[in-house]
Amino acid sequence: MSGAAPALRDRRVLVLGATGFIGRWVARAASETGARIWMSARDSAAARAMASAYGIAGTVAEADALHDADLAALFRDVRPEVTFNLIGYGVDRRENESALADAINVDVVRRVIALVRETAAAGDWPGLRLVHVGSALEYGVSGGDLAEDTVVNPTTVYGRTKLAATELVSAAAMTGLRAVTARLFTVYGPGEHDGRLLPTVLAARTASTPVPMTHGLQQRDFTWVGDVAEGLVRAAGQPSAPWPVVNLATGRLHTVRDFVADAERALGLAPGRFAFGALPTRAEEMAHAPVNIGRIRRWLDWVPTTSVHDGVRAAAAFQPNGRGGRVPARPDSD
CA distances from 144 to 170, 186, 244 (A): 23, 17, 21
The predicted-structure confidence for 147-157, as pLDDT tens digits, reads as follows: 999 999 999 99
Beta bridge partners of 181: 132, 245
Alpha-carbon distance 334 to 326, whole Å? Answer: 17
The answer, yes or no, to whether residue 333 has pLDDT greater than 60, is no
Q: Is the pLDDT of residue 1 over 90?
A: no
Nearest to 4 by CA among 289, 232, 258, 290: 232
Give the pLDDT mean for 9-16.
Answer: 96
Per-residue pLDDT band for 324 (boundaries 50, 70, 90) equals low
Contact status, residue 66 vs residue 108, Cβ threshold 8 Å: yes
Domain assignment present for residue 318? The answer is: no
Residue 246 in any domain: the answer is yes
Contact 32, 8 (CB under 8 A): no
SS3 27: helix
Is 3 in a helix, a strand, or coil? Answer: coil
Residues 6+ away with beta carbon under 8 Å from 179: 113, 116, 128, 129, 130, 131, 132, 169, 172, 173, 241, 244
Question: Reduced to 3 states, what is the DSSP secondary structure of residue 37?
Answer: strand
Identify whether the C-beta of residue 135 lies closer than 8 Å to the C-beta of residue 162.
yes
Q: What is the distance between the alpha carbons of residues 15 and 82, in angstroms, rounded to a whole number?
A: 9
Q: What is the pLDDT of residue 331?
A: 41
Note the pLDDT of residue 291: 94
Has residue 13 been placed in a domain? yes
Q: Pseudo-torsion of CA 144, 229, 200, 153, nearest 10°? A: -30
Share the mean pLDDT of the chain. 91
Tell which residue, 157, 87, 137, has the closest CA to residue 247: 137
Alpha-carbon span 134 to 181, nearest angstrom: 6
In this predicted structure, what is the pLDDT of residue 334?
40
195 within some domain: no
pLDDT score at 332: 42
* Pair type for strands 222-224 and 179-184: unpaired
pLDDT tens figures, 117-166: 998 866 789 999 999 999 999 999 877 789 999 999 999 999 999 999 99
User: What pLDDT is recorded for position 120?
Assistant: 80
Q: What is the DSSP string of 115-177?
A: HHHHHHTSS---S-SEEEEEEGGGTBT--SSB-TTSPPB--SHHHHHHHHHHHHHHHHHHTT-
Query: What is the structure's pLDDT at 308?
Result: 97
**pLDDT given at position 322:** 54
In the predicted model, is pLDDT for residue 5 greater than 70? no
Which span out of 1-15, 73-87, 272-286 was modeled with the highest average pLDDT? 73-87
pLDDT digits (tens, 9 = 90+) for 244-272: 999 999 999 999 999 999 999 999 998 88
Q: Examine residue 196 and state whether it is found in any structural domain, yes or no.
A: no
| Per-residue pLDDT at 144 | 76
Could you please report the per-residue DSSP string of 232-269?
HHHHHTSS--SSSEEEES-S--EEHHHHHHHHHHHHTP
Phi, psi angle pair for 316, to nearest 5°: -65, -30
The gap from C-alpha 296 to its chain's centroid, in whole angstroms, comes to 15
Is the pLDDT confidence value at 286 over 80?
Answer: no
- DSSP characters for 66-126? TSHHHHHHHHHHH--SEEEE---S-SSTT---HHHHHIIIIIHHHHHHHHHHHHHTSS---
**Count of domains forming the chain:** 1
Query: Using an 8 Å Cβ cutoff, are 251 and 213 in contact?
Result: no
**pLDDT bucket at 284, cuts 50 / 70 / 90:** low
CATH number assigned to the domain comprising residue 84: 3.40.50.720
Q: Is residue 285 in some structural domain?
A: no
pLDDT in tens, 42-61: 999 999 999 999 999 999 99
Contact 134, 183 (CB under 8 A): yes
pLDDT category of residue 2 using cuts at 50, 70 and 90: very low
pLDDT at 285 over 50: yes
Task: Check residue 270 and give its pLDDT.
Answer: 87
Structural domain for 57, as ranges: 9-187+223-252+293-308
128 found inside a domain: yes
Residue pLDDT, tens place only, 201-248? 999 998 888 999 999 999 999 999 999 999 999 999 999 999 999 999
Is residue 233 included in any domain, yes or no?
A: yes
% of the chain exceeding 90 in pLDDT: 78
Give the tens place of pLDDT for each residue, 81-115.
999 999 999 887 788 899 999 999 999 999 999 99
Terminal-to-terminal C-alpha distance of the chain: 22
pLDDT score of 328 more than 50 = yes
Give the CB-side neighbour count of residue 79, counting CA atoms within 13 A.
7
- Residue 327: the pLDDT is 64
